[in-house]
Amino acid sequence: MKNLLKGFKRSNFQYMNMAGEDDFSLIETAEDGISLIPEEYTGMYCDPEGQKNLNNAGFMYVNVSGDFIARAHIDLDFIYAEDSAAIMVYENEKNWATVNFEKSNFRTKAVATCVTKDGFSDKSAGPDYPWPSVWLHAIRKGENIAFFYSPDGVNKHLLRHFKFSASEKLKIGLTALSPNGNGDSTMNFYTFELKENFTVQSLTEGN
């Protein structure tokens, strides 16, 4: 897998809800990682009851075709409820999905997922997570996606398996969310690895 953060260059990514080259919410770190500082009240969530709709989180991504494996090594500050660092798979303004490391509404550290289809989000709370950092995995096979988490980057635990899109091309990348924050949270991404044009044998097992 290729680590897209190694020797990081801003020009290797495209950006949504970010200024790209001049955005100071993206900080380059000393060891091939980056940190993202989300602006206040930013998220990616369309409430199925229509009460809370956000589509304004910063997103740095690459375009990918066909099947793929992506994973990122992540930690964050855990200041506000729903502060979250995530991998996002994005088709368009009404269809996207995230696998998240977040501060839950119960003030615990947790892994979670959110799938938005046709403008409505379906959020799924995952288990509380005791370790300080996590590896998140997003894997595509055909029209389907599977999300996993891992304490060590090797032994994966399935969080969600779902049908997503028949589109050949998607956007895959990193996002930082702080729907209840004041713009002072920091999300750290130590690696972001991608293997394109690769199809796993078993999507639910991730290999």
The pLDDT, as a whole number, for residue 126 is: 85
**How many CB atoms sit inside 10 A of residue 193's CB?**
18
The pLDDT, as a whole number, for residue 29 is: 85
Pairing state between β 134-141 and 144-150 = antiparallel
Helix (H, G, I), strand (E, B) or coil at 137: strand
Buried b (16+ CB within 10 A) or exposed e, 21-46: eebebbeeeeeebbbbbbbeebbbbb
The pLDDT, as a whole number, for residue 20 is: 65
The pLDDT, as a whole number, for residue 93 is: 95
Helix (H, G, I), strand (E, B) or coil at 22: helix
pLDDT in tens, the chain (207 residues): 999 999 999 999 999 999 766 687 999 887 789 999 999 999 999 999 877 789 999 999 999 999 999 999 999 999 999 999 999 999 999 999 999 999 998 889 999 999 999 999 998 888 899 999 999 999 999 999 999 999 999 999 999 999 999 999 999 999 999 999 999 999 999 999 999 999 999 999 999
Q: What is the pLDDT of residues 4-45, one digit of tens each?
A: 999 999 999 999 999 766 687 999 887 789 999 999 999 999
Q: How many angstroms separate the CA atoms of 156 and 161, rounded?
A: 13
